[in-house]
Chain A
Amino acid sequence: DTAVSQTPKYLVTQMGNDKSIKCEQNLGHDTMYWYKQDSKKFLKIMFSYNNKELIINETVPNRFSPKSPDKAHLNLHINSLELGDSAVYFCASSQDLSVSYEQYFGPGTRLTVT
């Protein structure tokens, strides 16, 4: 069974569009994350939610809005897509906010903005 899943796996869209990426974890974890991996493979945290509450919101444009309907889901909605948003987006989860817990990553969503 897949622990952390993301849909879609690939997303190609035009500038100015609005799109969403979905993430689900079946591990019973309390904390979920979104990361952006840019073209240079640099991995940067964007958001963290703990029990549906926003904990971390790094310097991310407000065109990015995470939504957590329940603690098993953390979706990422992006408005007015820009070329620079092209990247691979990873969802992850951990048992809770404790720094000792391993993070489990989804397979990634490759977003291409044309």
Chain B
Amino acid sequence: DAGVTQSPTHLIKTRGQQVTLRCSPKSGHDTVSWYQQALGQGPQFIFQYYEEEERQRGNFPDRFSGHQFPNYSSELNVNALLLGDSALYLCASSHGTSGRRVGETQYFGPGTRLLVL
């Protein structure tokens, strides 16, 4: 059973450029969350997608946007890159139980390391 996969593994961009990161959730999972992890810090929640809609959002500017596809995979887009966007971007998937969403464990992928020069 494949876990959460992310692509690419590493990426180098320059300031002002745009980037798209991709995530495939664990088999059977329908919810994808994205986190940003700066060096030496804990992951920070960016947003969460379920049924192709953004359900929750953290304190990130509108330059960060996302999408979820019918097969539950997801993309994270960052526009107008800043040096401070350099980080490890983590995708986590979870599975909503029917009806109430209770006690969902989030499983993380290996991340995409983005370097902005």
Decide whether A and B assemble into one complex: no
Q: What residues make up the interface of B, taking CB atoms closer than 8 Å to A?
A: none
